[in-house]
């Protein structure tokens, strides 16, 4: 069964919500790694960013954060 969240009576699939959260976290990690000049040691930065997004999304999906009672399916 596909997981959904009910936000004010509207059912929204979990995948787009968790993907948007993963994009935000990945952007913050990317900004931090740029500040630390980490990317000069990375062979392919775009591939690294994509892998980092997939890893963050997987962590969010498999270990969901506790949500307020009204947002639970």
User: Is residue 56 a part of any domain in this protein?
Assistant: yes
pLDDT value at 68 more than 70: no
pLDDT tier for residue 59 given thresholds of 50, 70 and 90: very high
Give mean pLDDT, residues 5-34: 91
Helices (H), the chain: 14-35, 45-62
User: Is residue 7 a part of any domain in this protein?
Assistant: no
Domain limits at 56?
14-65
Q: How many domains does the chain have?
A: 1
pTM: 0.78
User: Is residue 6 a part of any domain in this protein?
Assistant: no
User: Is residue 41 a part of any domain in this protein?
Assistant: yes
- Determine contact, residues 33/42, Cβ cutoff 8 Å: no
């Amino acid at each position: 069964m596909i997981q959904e969240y009910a936000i004010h009576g509207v059912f929204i699939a979990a995948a787009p919500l968790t993907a948007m959260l993963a994009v935000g976290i990945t952007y913050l990690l990317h900004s931090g790694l740029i500040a630390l000049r980490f990317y000069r040691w990375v062979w392919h930065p775009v591939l690294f960013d994509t892998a980092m997004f997939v890893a963050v999304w997987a962590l969010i999906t498999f270990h969901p954060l506790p949500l307020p009672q009204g947002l639970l399916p």
